[in-house]
Amino acid sequence: MNDRMNDRMNDGMQDGMHDERPEGFRRVAAALAAAGHPGPRWLAVAARTSQEAADALGVTVGQIAKCVVFRRKGPDGADDGAVLVVAAGDRRVDEARVAALTGRLARADADFVKARTGFSIGGVSPLAHATELTVLVDRSLFRFDTVWAAAGHPNGVFCAAPAELARLAAAPVADVVQEPAP
């Protein structure tokens, strides 16, 4: 980790004050600790988009593991759970590819995302959700040695190798993004 990134992540850190951090961040920190991961970092600035996170961390947008949530629809059209896709920040999730694996989908609004994941948009983590979700990790993340994901709050992030991220999220790896333009 370079000094610039370390300074940005530690700005605003209050050693021993993790209990004052938002509940979502604490929940992700506990899940990471239980899995033997060193834990999340607190950024001095909020990073609600892949670009903001990449800028704050000094990495490429592709190294940001964004979480996109969909409503899964049952045969009668009623909500039948949530699907969370973890994909590289420089790729667009292909809803048809996701639906081919999970069933019919619809867009999720902020209230649905918060109710199902326990996190607000901009801080949705790939793990430690409020309810059981179907989670998929896109293969596009495997272009990188390490990626950064949200840790339950727009100021919270954690770093992992893509295979470790899939393990932490207890998620299969799939091809669910649109092909990049040549």
Q: Looking at the domain assignment, is residue 89 inside a domain?
A: yes
Please state, in angstroms and rounded to a whole number, the distance separating the CA atoms of residues 70 and 60: 25
Q: Which domain holds residue 74?
A: 3-174
**By the 8 A CB rule, do 130 and 69 touch?**
no
With residue 79 as reference, give the H or E element that holds it: strand 79-88
- What pLDDT score was predicted for residue 13? 38
- Which residue type, as a one-letter code, is found at position 106? A
- What pLDDT score was predicted for residue 160? 98
Q: Which tokens hold the place of 107?
A: 């867009």
Q: Which tokens hold the place of 118?
A: 């326990």
* Locus of tokens 């019919």: 104
- What pLDDT score was predicted for residue 159? 98
| 45-54 pLDDT, tens digit each | 999 999 999 9
Q: Which tokens hold the place of 39?
A: 């834990």
Q: Which tokens hold the place of 52?
A: 């903001």
Please state, in angstroms and rounded to a whole number, the distance separating the CA atoms of residues 6 and 19: 21
- What pLDDT score was predicted for residue 158? 98
- What pLDDT score was predicted for residue 10? 43
Using the predicted structure, report yes or no on whether residue 117 has a pLDDT greater than 50: yes
Using the predicted structure, report yes or no on whether residue 179 has a pLDDT greater than 90: no
Residue 182 pLDDT grade (very low, low, confident, very high; cuts 50, 70, 90): confident
Please state, in angstroms and rounded to a whole number, the distance separating the CA atoms of residues 82 and 98: 12
- What pLDDT score was predicted for residue 18? 56
Residue 77 pLDDT grade (very low, low, confident, very high; cuts 50, 70, 90): confident
Residue 14 pLDDT grade (very low, low, confident, very high; cuts 50, 70, 90): very low
- What pLDDT score was predicted for residue 132? 95
Total domains present in the chain: 1
Q: Looking at the domain assignment, is residue 29 inside a domain?
A: yes
Using the predicted structure, report yes or no on whether residue 78 has a pLDDT greater than 50: yes
Q: Looking at the domain assignment, is residue 23 inside a domain?
A: yes
Domain CATH number, residue 170: 3.90.960.10
Q: Looking at the domain assignment, is residue 179 inside a domain?
A: no
The more confidently predicted of residues 62 and 3 is 62
Contacts of 34 (CB under 8 A, 6+ apart): none
Instruction: Say what the pTM is.
Output: 0.88
Q: Looking at the domain assignment, is residue 109 inside a domain?
A: yes
